[in-house]
Amino acid sequence: MELNLGSDPRSAVLRRSQAALIAAFGRIIRPPDKRRDPVWVLVHGVIGAQTKTAASNASTDALIAEFATWDAVAAVPVAQLQARLHRQTFPKVAAERLSACLIAIIEERGSVDLRHLSNYDTAEAMAWLETLPGVARKNSAGVMNASTFNRRAMVIDGHHRRIMQRMGIVPAKADTQKAYDALMPIVPEEWSAADMDEHHLLLKKLGQTFCRPRRVQCESCPVREDCLTGAAQA
Give the pLDDT confidence of 155-205 residue by residue, as tens digits.
Answer: 999 999 999 999 999 999 999 999 999 999 999 999 999 999 999 999 999
The residue that leads in pLDDT, 32 or 80, is 80
The residue that leads in pLDDT, 16 or 6, is 16
Task: Judge whether residue 55 has pLDDT over 60.
Answer: yes
Q: What is the pTM of this model?
A: 0.92
**pLDDT tens digits, residue range 79-122?**
999 999 999 999 999 999 999 999 999 999 999 999 999 999 99
SS3 215: coil
Task: Judge whether residue 232 has pLDDT over 60.
Answer: yes
Of residues 149, 104, 152, the one with CA closest to residue 128: 104
Buried b (16+ CB within 10 A) or exposed e, 93-111: bbbbbbbbbbebbbeeeee
SS3 147: strand
Give the residue-averaged pLDDT of 126-138: 97
Query: Domains plus CATH for the chain?
Result: 9-30+156-167+177-232 (1.10.1670.10), 36-146 (1.10.340.30)
DSSP 216: B
